[in-house]
Structure 1
Amino acid sequence: MLPVSYASLLWLSTCLWGIWALDPDPDMSLRNHHRHLAPANVDFGFSLYKHLVALTPDRNIFISPVSISISLAMLTLGARGSTRTQLLQGLGFNLTEIAEEAAVHRNFQHLRGLLLEADTSLEMTMGNTLFLDHRLDVLTSFSADIRHYYAPEALAIHFQDWVRASSHSSEYIKNKMQEKIPDQFPELETPGTFTLVNNISLKGTWAIPFDPESTSEEDFHVTEASSVKVPMMSQLGAVKQLNDSVLPCRLVQLDYTNNGTAFFILPHWGQMDTVIAALSRDTIQRWSKSLSVGQAHVSIPKIPISGTYDLRSTLEGMGISDLFTERADFSGITGEAPLKMWKVVHKTVLYMDEAGLTTTRAAAPAERPTPVPLSNQPPTIIKFNQPFLIGVFDSFTWSTLFLGKVTSPT
C-alpha cells in the first residue's frame, strides 16, 4: 500500500431534467424528521448562492442547493477536527444544539427517502458515486456509515493513469445522467485519491403548460443599451403575482404538478444586487403570503441554462477553508496520510420549455388545461425580458431545489 499524499477532488455534478414533487401522503415521520433539517438547508442554500453571485457578478448562475448540502453532509462522515466543524457550521448547523452528529445524518437520510421513495408519477434519480484510488485502504467504519446514510456507489480507479481515469469517470457520469457534460474532469496538477460525483435528475411539467403556438422571437435586454433575440413563451390567465412594495421587484409564482413551485423574480433596472441581498427564508415566506391571483399576460424566455462552478472560493468565503489546505483532516476516510481537497465543482443543466423543465428540447407536448381568466380585469403584462432570478422549491420537504440568475439568455 503506497502512502496517500495526493490532492483529492470532489466533483459535485447536478443535472436538472425538470421539477419533482411529492405525493401528499408519505410517511409523516420522514416529513417531521426533515423539518428539523429544512431551516439550515434553506439558509445554507441562500448563503452559497449569494457568495457565488458575488464572485461572478456578470454570469448566469444556476445551482441546486439541496444537492450540494447532501454531498457536503456526506463528506463530514470522513472529516475530523476543524474540518468537520467547518463543514457542519458552513451547512448552517449550530454545534451546541446538535445532541449527536448521527442525528444530522439520519435527517439527511430521511430527506433522501422523501426525495427518492415517494409514490409519485414523476421520475427522479439522485446518487452519489465515489471514485476511489485502487490503492486507497478505506476504513470499514466510513464505508459502513456512508452506505447506511447516503447509499453511494463506489468504483476503483487507477489515478496514476489520469487520462484513463478521467475517461472512465466521464463515461460513467454520461451513462448515469444521459447527458454528455464536457470537461467534467480537467487534468489534475497531481493525481486525485478520491472523487465524489453527486447527481440529481428530475422530470416534471407545469400545472398549466404554455401553449407552443404562443411562443415567438422577442428582444431580451441584457443591458439598457443591448439586446438579443430569444424565443419567449407566453401565457394569459389567472396568475399568482406580486408587485413588491418592500423590494424593487415584481414576481410571479408558477406551479408544477404536485408540490413543486417556481418563483420568477424581475428586479427593477439596476436593483438586481438589492433583491439578491434580501433573499432569505423570511423574504420567501413574505412573498408567499403576499401573492395575489390576478389576470396577467406572462412572458418567459424558452432557454437552456447551464453552468459549471468551481466552488472552492465560494466555500472558503463561507468559512469552509480547511478542505483546500494542508490542515484538511479526512482521517475518518483512511486513517492514513492526510488527504486534501483539490476542487469542489458543481454542474447544472436546465432546459425550460412550454411543457415544463426537461432535459430534451423536443419534449412530447403536454395536455394543456385552459387557464381561467378573471373577468372585468385588464391583464397585467409581465415580461421577463431583462435579467431576472429563479427559485424552484418543493413545498412538501421545504427544500430549495434550485436557485438561478439569468443575466443573458445566450
Structure 2
Amino acid sequence: MPVVLYTCLLWLSISGLSTAEKHNSFTHESSRSPHRGLAPTNTDFAFNLYNRLVNLNPNKNILVSPVSISTALAMLSLGPRGQTGTRLLQSLGFNYTEASEAKIHQDFQHLSRLLSQSDMSSSMSLGSIIFFDQNLKLEDSFLEAIKHYYGSEAFAIDFKDWTQASRQINTYVESKTQGKITEVFSDPSDLAPFMLFNYIFFKGTWEFPFSPENTREEDFYVNETTTVKVPMMVQSGLMGYLHDSVIPCQLVLMDFVGNGTIFFILPDQNQMDTVTAALSRDTIKRWDTLLTKRQVNAHIPKFSMFDTHDLKEVLPEMGIEDLFTGQSNFSGYTQDDSKAVKVIHKAVLQLDENGIVPVATKRASRFARSEELTISFNRPFIVLIYDDITWSSLLMGKIMKPA
C-alpha cells in the first residue's frame, strides 16, 4: 500500500533589500546558540540534496525547501518499527552517539516552535497534515507522537469519492495557507491511501524595499543563444557584498524584516556548475566572514516560479532507501500492511518589490556615489534563503530562466 509524503513549500513572497547587519553571527557555530542544535546536520543535508537535484536537472530551474524535507522525513521516522526509523534518521545525518532519537525529535519540536513563533510569524506559517483513507486505522501512538513533536494532524478521507476527497483536501490546505494554495491535487492518480502534506508559507518583507517605479524590462541571458525580457527590480544602498577570489562568483546579502536572510549568488559566465559544486556549510561560513558592506546598485529579476520533485529519484542516492525498497516495517503507522513510500516535494517562490515603506528611499551611506558598484542578476543565478535564529535552509534555488 503506497504512502505519499507530500512536502510542499507553498509560497515564498519576497520583497526588498537589506543592510546586511544581521549576517555578522549568522553561521558562526562558536556562538553555540541553543536554537541551532539541528543546524549543522540539516545544512549538510540541504546542500547534499540541492546538489543532487541540480545534477539530475542540469538545465532546469530548481527550487527546494530543505528544512521542510528534513522535518517531514524526521516526522515520518516516528512510524516505522525496528531499524527503519533509526536508519532514516541516520540517513538524514544524525549520529546516535551525539544525540538520542528522543533528543532529535525534541530538537525538531523546538525548531518548529521557533519558526512558528518568530517575529516573522505574522507573514509565515508552516506545518504538516496527514490525509489517509478512511478504511485505514492509524496507530494512536503515531498520531500522538506527530501531534506532540511536530504539531501535525491526521484526517480521514473517503478516497473512493474523488470529487469529495479533493474538495476536502484543497479546502483544508487553502485555509491553512492563507489562500495561497487552492488546489493540491488535480488528478485522482496523485492520491494514495496515506498522504503527508508538509507546507511552509512565507511572505518576506524587505527591510529596504525596491520601488515599483524603478522596475523596468531588461534582458536576461538564459544562455549564449537565448535572451528573454524580464521585469528587473532596482535598488541602491549599503549591503553585504563579496567578489569571491576562490569560487568564481559574486554575491550580495539582503535582509527581511525579522529573521530572514537571502544570499543572491551570481556565478561568473558559464561557471554555474563550479559554484554549485562548491556550495557547502563551510562555504557559507567563509562567505559570512568575508562579506563586507559597500554601496551597491543591485538589479534583481521580479518573478514567480514553482517546482515539484518526486524524491524517489534522489533520496536513495543519499542513503534513504528503506522508504522505497518495500523492505520497511511501517506497522507503526497503521495496522494495515504498508510497504512502499512516495515522497513528493513542491516549492513555490514569488519575488517582488514589497517592503515596510511604500515609497522609494535612498539609504544613507558614508560611501561616495563614485564608489557604487552595479551588479545585475541578468544571467542564471542561485538564491539561498535562511532563518537567522535557527540557521534553517528555508529555500534553495537555481534560477536558469525567470518566469
With normalisation by structure 2, the TM-score equals 0.89
Work out the CA distance in 2 between the residues paired with 1:243 and 1:195: 45
TM-aligned CA deviation for residue 378 of structure 1: 2.9
Q: What residue number does 1:354 align with?
A: 353
Which of 9, 19, 23 pairs up with 2:4?
Answer: 9
Q: What residue number does 1:366 align with?
A: 358
TM-aligned CA deviation for residue 210 of structure 1: 1.0
- Give 1:124-273 correspondences, 5 Å limit: 124-177=124-177, 178-180=179-181, 184=185, 186-188=187-189, 192-273=192-273
Q: Secondary structure at the match of 1:179?
A: coil
Opposite residue 37 of structure 1, the aligned amino acid is L
Q: What residue number does 1:408 align with?
A: 401
Q: What residue number does 2:44 align with?
A: 43
Number of equivalent positions? 386
Work out the CA distance in 1 between the residues paired with 2:311 and 2:161: 26
Q: What residue number does 2:87 align with?
A: 86
Work out the CA distance in 2 between the residues paired with 1:369 and 1:330: 57
TM-aligned CA deviation for residue 118 of structure 1: 3.2
TM-aligned CA deviation for residue 161 of structure 1: 3.6
- 8 A Cα contact 1:208 1:370, kept in partner: no
Work out the CA distance in 2 between the residues paired with 1:328 and 1:290: 46
Work out the CA distance in 1 between the residues paired with 2:334 and 2:361: 56
Ranges in structure 1 where 5+ consecutive residues have no aligned partner: 1-5, 23-30, 357-363
Task: Say what the alpha-carbon RMSD is for the aligned residues.
Answer: 2.3
Work out the CA distance in 2 between the residues paired with 1:286 and 1:55: 27
Opposite residue 347 of structure 2, the aligned amino acid is T
Change (3 A) 1:350 1:286: same
TM-aligned CA deviation for residue 162 of structure 1: 4.2
Opposite residue 63 of structure 1, the aligned amino acid is V
Judge which range, 83-92 or 176-185, deviates more: 176-185
Change (3 A) 1:71 1:88: same
Judge which range, 41-50 or 319-328, deviates more: 319-328
Opposite residue 68 of structure 2, the aligned amino acid is S
- Give 1:255-294 correspondences, 5 Å limit: 255-294=255-294
TM-aligned CA deviation for residue 18 of structure 1: 3.6
Change (3 A) 1:291 1:106: same
Q: Secondary structure at the match of 2:390?
A: coil
Work out the CA distance in 2 between the residues paired with 1:101 and 1:83: 13
Work out the CA distance in 2 between the residues paired with 1:303 and 1:338: 41
Work out the CA distance in 2 between the residues paired with 1:119 and 1:180: 23
TM-aligned CA deviation for residue 48 of structure 1: 1.1
Ranges in structure 2 where 5+ consecutive residues have no aligned partner: 16-21, 23-31
Work out the CA distance in 2 between the residues paired with 1:312 and 1:262: 29
Change (3 A) 1:405 1:46: same
- 8 A Cα contact 1:239 1:296, kept in partner: yes
1:384 to 2:377 alignment: yes
Judge which range, 101-110 or 86-95, deviates more: 86-95
With normalisation by structure 1, the TM-score equals 0.88
TM-aligned CA deviation for residue 227 of structure 1: 0.3
- 8 A Cα contact 1:38 1:398, kept in partner: yes
Change (3 A) 1:185 1:108: farther
Work out the CA distance in 2 between the residues paired with 1:254 and 1:344: 32
TM-aligned CA deviation for residue 168 of structure 1: 2.9
Work out the CA distance in 1 between the residues paired with 2:402 and 2:208: 23
Work out the CA distance in 2 between the residues paired with 1:81 and 1:348: 32
TM-aligned CA deviation for residue 152 of structure 1: 1.1
